[in-house]
Amino acid sequence: MKINFVLNTSANYSEVQESLFSLVQAELDAGEYSRGRYVDGALNFSLFIRDRADVVMSHGVADKNYFWIRDPDGQRFANRLKAVLVPGRWLRKRILKSSKLELGEDQVITVGWPRIDQLRAMPRPQTRGRKVLLWAPTHDAVKRGAEERSTSSYPDFGRHLPALSKRFDVEVSLHPRNRVDKRPTLEKLLEADFVVSDFGTLVYEAWALGKPVLFPRWILGDRIQQYLPRSAEAHIFDNRIGYHPESLEDMLDILEAGPVITPDVVKFMAAYVDNYRAGNSAAAIAAALRRLAAGETGAAPAG
């Protein structure tokens, strides 16, 4: 059975989709796969839970309760799938324990996150005279609760950039939904010494590259725990993994002291992402797709 990469038409995620698919396809032979719409008789692989597909890996490494999304009839999209690919054992365990999802042991396969390997392979830029602070929020397109509040630090944190710019070189990389340029944030992340974010993919990628992440708690409060309960991101906020300053002054003190990757981050990341330290996630994805296309079951998780 051929592997078919289902192309989603979203302009916001087109570059992310192309980047991830290209990494995996480089691990396959040209005759093993096709690209396009859903193909009957093929193993259809997508990065989007709402697409018609057989296997889904989220387009982002964050949990965000993505595999618990419902269709308009209230049914979970994930329960229709042959398999889901997840970054590591933390999310695999959560899915298998969930009473809402009907996926078995051989249907939840850990594969890491391929962009981490890609980032590690890229040359590091020259250091600047001042430390570089990158603000990389997720999008604010989803408003939650009666007050229509976002779980993103965008745009509120933007008002603090002038004060931070007095002490650091400040770079900004908004989510593709909030900017015209849809390219993934790669170069800016490599340049950064510290990252300010909230609950998206950049959090995990920054930690994997050894870059401390600061969560502006005075802006985000407990919204992530409230609106994304039981998610990995709620776990991060509940347990204050990494740095969670309660004010701009608190953040400045942490930055001046020199934040580091703390032991709680190392412990969490080792469980959340198979290739946190090393590996080849794209090869793991390709191998999982080959096994599924061959009709094999009981595929062992990578971690």
Domain that holds residue 63: 3-113+277-293
Distance (Å, whole) CA 193 – CA 107: 38
266: CATH = 3.40.50.12580
Tell me the mean pLDDT in the region 13-18.
90
88 and 193, same domain (yes or no): no
281 and 256, same domain (yes or no): no
137 and 251, same domain (yes or no): yes
197 and 282, same domain (yes or no): no
Whether residue 303 is contained in a domain is answered as no
225 and 135, same domain (yes or no): yes
Distance (Å, whole) CA 138 – CA 104: 31
128 and 263, same domain (yes or no): yes
Two tokens, residue 148: 């229509």
pLDDT of 303 over the 50 cut:
no
Tell me the mean pLDDT in the region 43-50.
98
Whether residue 298 is contained in a domain is answered as no
Residue 82: count other Cβ atoms within 10 Å of its Cβ.
16
138 and 238, same domain (yes or no): yes
157 and 249, same domain (yes or no): yes
* pLDDT tens sequence across 246-270: 999 999 999 999 999 999 999 999 9
Going from the C-alpha of 42 to that of each of 6, 36, 61, 215, 284, the distances in angstroms are 11, 12, 25, 43, 20
Distance (Å, whole) CA 51 – CA 44: 10
Tell me the mean pLDDT in the region 195-208.
95
Distance (Å, whole) CA 72 – CA 62: 23
* pLDDT tens sequence across 139-193: 555 556 556 566 789 989 999 999 999 999 999 987 555 444 545 567 889 999 9
Domains: count for the chain = 2
Mention every residue, 6+ apart, whose C-beta is less than 8 A from residue 64. 58, 199, 228, 231, 233
90 and 182, same domain (yes or no): no
Of residues 302 and 293, the one with the higher pLDDT is 293
125 and 267, same domain (yes or no): yes
Beta strand spans in 115-237 (E): 132-135, 169-172, 194-196, 213-214
pLDDT of 71 over the 70 cut:
yes
Instruction: Give the pTM.
Output: 0.92
* pLDDT tens sequence across 81-125: 999 999 999 999 999 999 999 999 999 999 999 999 999 999 888
88 and 156, same domain (yes or no): no
Which pLDDT does position 11 carry in this prediction? 82
158 and 253, same domain (yes or no): yes
Whether residue 86 is contained in a domain is answered as yes
